[in-house]
Chain A
Amino acid sequence: MDYSIQVKNLTLNFGNVSVLKSLDLDVKEGEFIVLLGSSGCGKSTLLNCIAGLLDITDGQIFIKGKNVTWSEPSQRGIGMVFQSYALYPQMSVRGNLSFGLKNAGLPKAEIEQRVKRAAEILQIEPLLERKPAALSGGQRQRVAIGRALVRDVDVFLFDEPLSNLDAKLRSDLRVEIKRLHQRLKNTMVYVTHDQVEAMTLADRIAIMRNGVIQQFDTPSGVYNRPVNLYVASFIGSPSMNFFEGKLTDGGKTFEFADLRIPVGDYAFDSKPADGTKVVLGIRPEHVSIGEEAAKSSFSVPCEIEIVEPMGAEVVAYTRVGGQTLTFRCSSDIELKDGDKVTLGFDIARGSMFDATSERRL
């Protein structure tokens, strides 16, 4: 079996509050998994369960095919990196790196060698004798990663490791974590609420909400084919435009306000019945303008209300069928408030959801 982590039917209750609800998660060997969700969705809790820091109510956890549901954290073959770094303040960097190895009773030479290797990989050799207090935020997080690294484990768990860093450092370390993954080829499970981190790092993203995994798919999967309304609205910035209407004309037309949008090109997962209430979602970056709009499967004239220049691109707000439509285009196109433009989109790039079940159609 080439699964690195398997979570089966995991349930966790705190008193009467159910935090994780019979959750399943299969992580392949060497995969980089991101658990993504807003705060309180249970993503950190799930990570803590995998690490063995929380006793679960029901279910099983396998790591490398071994049932570790009731094993001690140190016996699970995991290394963990925390948001607050969690470095032992009274120990030097060397002490921090070697603490776990000493606890495991490794011989001195071996400890020495592993610390040296980790310090080399993370480029923290000059800092080995310093105390954590004398390190910058980025250096501290490197040491924290190093502490997982020296354990020579198969699975790395990251609990929002970059949230305490400033924007510049965050993107630097993000690249470094990706590089580290390419080099070590470990399985990594990474918790974050930052979708940019999720999209850039992950092989697969698990989007969580209220203790349930909504979708577990590749970054392009969750972006292009969100399974429900929540995922669709959560991923992407600015977020997806939604239009509520219904299917008519034998399911070939989407009717909303006074607009009729042909949906013949849309690849339905299951063909809905005529008259079904449907929500159509279009990403702002999939809306085209001008000549291109005319070429797409649907186009409509509208008036620009607000323009937000963002440098390379422009986000503009307009109204379609009485509802706000956000779209994004290159800043080469000059737009100003009150401009009359033609906007269009290809229905094939949109997403349609059942208005009641909120599932993708």
Chain B
Amino acid sequence: MSDTALPGSAAGVSSASAEMTGARGAKPQRRISPRNIMIYGTLFVVCVYYALPLWVMIMTSLKGMPEVRLGNIFAPPMEVTFQPWVKAWAEACTGLNCDGLSRGFWNSARITIPSVVVSILIASINGYALINWKFKGSDIFFTILIFGSFIPYQVMLYPMVILLRELGIYGTLQGLVLVHSIFGMPILTLLFRNYFSSLPEELFKAARVDGAGFWRIYFQIMLPMSIPIFVVAIILQVTGIWNDFLFGVVFTKPELYPMTVQLNNIVNSVQGVKEYNVNMAATVLTGLVPLFVYFVSGRLFVRGIAAGAVKG
């Protein structure tokens, strides 16, 4: 009781007045209660469960092969070595190339960046036009576009190969960029359309009365209000395209394989000794980009998804 008393006031008086004025709000809870132990205990177990594979991977990648062979996969390395990382990045062989994952990394970058930019640019303009500049048949157009997202990719693989061959870009990076841009279109258009439909229509009308046209309204009114949804789209596309394996295998050739395909080729090579430490390092390297994107923009991601969900 005396703890709550104001400094300088007599203890006897303060205990009475503290009861009158001091206690407000909910009763404070003890930190260590059975309930909290249950909650935090469960959370801890789940965290460990999810973090353990990552732990094993990183620990293994820091060990030399002799130590890996001992089989203590959970133990930290006795002797830390970065050799597996160097090898995974710059020396591991896939087929005839022995320049490691670095080639795949740059391929993936050259695929992902243009694909993300092109698909988001077009999809956002699609969504904007579908909501604000309705044209005859715009609803049918949208329905067809959405229907496209329900067709399994496998069905479209071979027709796509023919299409790219006829265009003369089969087996090139441009071809793969085109494929990624097209396949991202339905879901991204839906995303942008729903977001733009949640923006007040009167803003668009006001801008038209103010004499702004299609592009000016898009760039000066819509874009600045849509940062969260652009972040969402960027995350979706970066991770989706970076992690893509199927299209990478089908539409490119060995020198142009993206990182995921190359990782598979390194890990699954049947010749020689299985270098688990190199495989682990290569896997972590490949996962770093999506991981980085999530960490940097996770908060914006949630905000964007929520904004679309509530109002759309």
Q: List residues of A whose CB falls within 8 A of some B CB.
A: 48, 51-53, 72-74, 78-80, 82-84, 86-90, 99-100, 103-104, 147, 151, 159
Establish whether residues A103 and B216, one from each chain, have CB atoms under 8 Å apart when the complex forms. Answer: yes
Shortest Cβ gap from A91 to chain B (Å): 8
Establish whether residues A53 and B205, one from each chain, have CB atoms under 8 Å apart when the complex forms. Answer: yes
Give Cα distance in the complex from A78 to B209, angstroms: 8
Task: Give the chain A neighbours of B209 by CB distance below 8 A.
Answer: 51, 53, 73-74, 78-80, 100
Give Cα distance in the complex from A86 to B211, angstroms: 15
B79 at the interface (CB under 8 A from A): no
Binary CB contact string for chain B from 109 to 120 against chain A (1 if under 8 A, 0 otherwise): 000000000000
Give Cα distance in the complex from A99 to B216, angstroms: 11
Give Cα distance in the complex from A52 to B205, angstroms: 10
Shortest Cβ gap from B3 to chain A (Å): 42
Give Cα distance in the complex from A51 to B208, angstroms: 10
Contacts A103-B216, A104-B211; A90 near B206 (Cβ below 8 A):
no
Establish whether residues B212 and A103, one from each chain, have CB atoms under 8 Å apart when the complex forms. Answer: yes
Give Cα distance in the complex from A217 to B86, angstroms: 87
Contacts A90-B225, A103-B216; A82 near B206 (Cβ below 8 A):
yes
B207 at the interface (CB under 8 A from A): yes
Give Cα distance in the complex from A104 to B200, angstroms: 24
Most buried by A among B202, B205, B206, B216: B206
Contact partner, A88, options B203, B205, B208, Cβ 8 Å: B203
Most buried by A among B205, B209, B224, B225: B209
Establish whether residues A74 and B202, one from each chain, have CB atoms under 8 Å apart when the complex forms. Answer: no
* Other contacts beyond A82-B206, A100-B212, A103-B216: 5, CB < 8 A: A84-B202, A86-B206, A89-B224, A100-B209, A103-B211
Establish whether residues A83 and B211, one from each chain, have CB atoms under 8 Å apart when the complex forms. Answer: no
Q: List residues of B whose CB falls within 8 A of some A CB.
A: 200, 202-203, 205-212, 216, 220-221, 224-225
Establish whether residues A90 and B202, one from each chain, have CB atoms under 8 Å apart when the complex forms. Answer: no
Task: Give the chain B neighbours of A89 by CB distance below 8 A.
Answer: 224-225
Task: Give the chain A neighbours of B225 by CB distance below 8 A.
Answer: 89-90
Shortest Cβ gap from A233 to chain B (Å): 31
Establish whether residues A88 and B211, one from each chain, have CB atoms under 8 Å apart when the complex forms. Answer: no
Contact partner, A86, options B202, B212, B220, B224, Cβ 8 Å: B202
Give Cα distance in the complex from A98 to B216, angstroms: 14
Give Cα distance in the complex from A71 to B224, angstroms: 28
The count of A-to-B residue pairs whose CB atoms sit within 8 angstroms is 61
Give Cα distance in the complex from A89 to B226, angstroms: 11
Shortest Cβ gap from B134 to chain A (Å): 10
Task: Give the chain B neighbours of A80 by CB distance below 8 A.
Answer: 205-206, 209
Shortest Cβ gap from B36 to chain A (Å): 39
Task: Give the chain B neighbours of A79 by CB distance below 8 A.
Answer: 209
Establish whether residues B210 and A103, one from each chain, have CB atoms under 8 Å apart when the complex forms. Answer: yes
Establish whether residues A90 and B212, one from each chain, have CB atoms under 8 Å apart when the complex forms. Answer: no
Task: Give the chain A neighbours of B208 by CB distance below 8 A.
Answer: 52-53, 72-74
Establish whether residues A82 and B205, one from each chain, have CB atoms under 8 Å apart when the complex forms. Answer: yes
Identity of the chain B residue whose Cβ is nearest the Cβ of A83 in the assembled complex: B202
Establish whether residues B200 and A74, one from each chain, have CB atoms under 8 Å apart when the complex forms. Answer: no
Give Cα distance in the complex from A147 to B206, angstroms: 9
Task: Give the chain A neighbours of B206 by CB distance below 8 A.
Answer: 80, 82, 86-88, 147
Establish whether residues B200 and A88, one from each chain, have CB atoms under 8 Å apart when the complex forms. Answer: no
21 residue pairs from A and B, CB less than 8 Å apart: A51-B205, A52-B208, A53-B205, A53-B208, A72-B208, A72-B211, A73-B205, A74-B208, A74-B210, A74-B212, A80-B209, A82-B202, A86-B200, A86-B205, A87-B206, A88-B206, A88-B220, A88-B221, A100-B209, A103-B211, A151-B210
Task: Give the chain A neighbours of B221 by CB distance below 8 A.
Answer: 88
Give Cα distance in the complex from A82 to B216, angstroms: 20
Shortest Cβ gap from A279 to chain B (Å): 40
Contacts A53-B205, A90-B225; A84 near B200 (Cβ below 8 A):
yes
Give Cα distance in the complex from A147 to B224, angstroms: 20
Give Cα distance in the complex from A74 to B211, angstroms: 5
Identity of the chain B residue whose Cβ is nearest the Cβ of A153 in the assembled complex: B209
Task: Give the chain B neighbours of A52 by CB distance below 8 A.
Answer: 208
Give Cα distance in the complex from A80 to B211, angstroms: 12
Establish whether residues B202 and A88, one from each chain, have CB atoms under 8 Å apart when the complex forms. Answer: no
Identity of the chain B residue whose Cβ is nearest the Cβ of A80 in the assembled complex: B209
Task: Give the chain A neighbours of B202 by CB distance below 8 A.
Answer: 82-84, 86, 159
Give Cα distance in the complex from A85 to B206, angstroms: 9
Give Cα distance in the complex from A88 to B221, angstroms: 7
Identity of the chain B residue whose Cβ is nearest the Cβ of A85 in the assembled complex: B202
Give Cα distance in the complex from A90 to B222, angstroms: 10
Task: Give the chain B neighbours of A48 by CB distance below 8 A.
Answer: 205
Give Cα distance in the complex from A197 to B89, angstroms: 74
Shortest Cβ gap from B152 to chain A (Å): 35
Most buried by B among A74, A78, A104: A74
Task: Give the chain B neighbours of A90 by CB distance below 8 A.
Answer: 224-225
Task: Give the chain B neighbours of A51 by CB distance below 8 A.
Answer: 205, 209
